[in-house]
Amino acid sequence: MRISDLLLPELDNELRITRTVLERVPDDRGEWKPHEKSFPMAHLAQLVARLPGWTLMVMNQTELDIAPVDGPKTAGYSIEKTATLLAEFDKNAAAARDCIAKSSDADYDVPWTLKAAGKAQFTMPRYQALRQSVLNHLVHHRAQLGIYLRLTDQKVPQMYGPTADERQ
């Protein structure tokens, strides 16, 4: 079995769950954050919407500098409506799924490096980078967003089991 064939069912499940969480982000609480060191809710939701798009950076490049010294900075965060975030998520999710489906097993062995200001933060095979920097990263920030939903009295959707809002 190909690596892509193993990853796609997991990706599909995580994308389905993530979209459900994003659907619950209220348009009128974008600036809210649980702590002064935390992201505002809209910024966290935007990060979650963008993370599937990292699949293309991992699988189509051999490195990424997230803070280049002499170059364009990555796109900042903005306060967007939930519908805008969902459209961005859907576009990124479809592109991620297509990229993984088209990838060969050999593509996952290629070394990939994350840099900050030109300095390597880590180098690992693309498979590990995809798992760590995309899938696990997505689950991590989605869970944070679930906490934001709870703290703002939104209904928290089921992720891996029932929530207090959605008992079956």
Tokens 């306060």 sit at which residue?
79
Quote the distance between the C-alpha of residue 146 and its chain's center: 14
Residues 6+ apart with CB under 8 A from 59: 99, 100, 103, 107, 126, 130
Q: Which one, of 74, 131, 123, 124, lies nearest residue 100 by Cα? A: 131
Question: Is 3-61+76-102+126-151 a CATH 1.20.120.450 domain?
Answer: yes
- The per-residue pLDDT for 167 is 74
Per-residue pLDDT, 73: 63
For the stretch 41-81, pLDDT in tens is 999 999 999 999 999 999 999 999 988 888 766 668 899 99
Q: What are phi and psi of 65, to 5 degrees?
A: -105, 110
Residue spans per domain, the chain: 3-61+76-102+126-151
**pTM confidence score:** 0.93
The predicted pLDDT at position 153 comes to: 96
Q: What is the pLDDT of residue 19?
A: 98
Q: Convert the pLDDT of each residue in 17-44 to its tens digit.
A: 999 999 999 999 999 999 999 999 999 9
pLDDT of 80 reads 95
DSSP of 126-147: HHHHHIIIIIIHHHHHHHHHHH
Q: Say what the pLDDT of residue 168 is.
A: 62
